Structures are given as C-alpha cells and as structure tokens.
Amino acid sequence: MTTEVNNFSDDNIKKSFLYEELSYKIIGSYGREKQYSELFKEKFIKINIPYKRELRIGDSGNILDFVIDEKIILEFKTVPYLILEHYDQVKRYLHQTGLKLGIW
C-alpha cells in the first residue's frame, strides 16, 4: 500500500484558473436573478464582453442565464447558500454544452 503525501504551501500550489481574467470581470458584480441580470448585461456591454442571455440548450428545456464569450456559463442563484443541486445543475449544463467553466 502506498500513501501519497501532499505538502501544501504557497510555493507548492499552482494557481491556475480557467479564463482567469474573464472570470474575475464577471464575478466582480453581484445581483438578484431577474432584477439584476439586467445590471450584468449592462456591465458586459460597458466592458465589452460578448454574451448570450437566456440561452436554451437544445430540446432539454434548460435555459442558461448567460453564456459569456462562448466560454463560461453564468447562472444566478438567489438563495442564502448553494447546495449540491445547484452544483449538479451547472455540471449538467457544462456537459450539455461542452463548455468547461460554470459560475454561479
């Protein structure tokens, strides 16, 4: 039996984020789902980020809140805390679209 030991320190952790700059621009704002989606739309226009809003995924009946630059799914949740169901929802959306990053 072998045991792998990981030494975690600032020096050993590779800080690598998918679409880091674009992700940061997106999550720099916060709002309520329908009411503030409009604010995000305005922000994306202002900072020149391409997006699609309320995009239907094929015939699945699923509708994405936003797809940013054809790379990132952005889903709004107006709940006190996120639960596994929210994670699973975004995971399904990623699988259905072939995209690699979902933010909620």
Q: Got the DSSP string for 27-58?
A: HT----HHHHHHHHHHHHHHTT--EEEEEE-T
% residues pLDDT > 70 (the chain): 76
Fold classification of 20-103 is Trna Endonuclease; Chain: A, domain 1 (3.40.1350)
* Tokens describing residue 29: 């704002």
Note the pLDDT tens digit of each residue in 57-84: 988 889 999 999 999 999 988 776 788 9
pLDDT digits over 18-41, tens only? 787 787 677 665 546 777 788 899
Q: Which residue has better confidence, 96 or 4?
A: 96
Identify the band that residue 15 occupies on the pLDDT scale cut at 50, 70 and 90: low
Q: What is the pLDDT of residue 35?
A: 73
Q: 37 Cβ partners below 8 Å, 6+ apart?
A: 31, 53, 65, 66, 76
In this prediction the pTM is 0.68
- Report the pLDDT value the prediction gives residue 17, as an integer from 0 to 100: 66
pLDDT digits (tens, 9 = 90+) for 78-102: 776 788 999 999 999 999 999 999 9
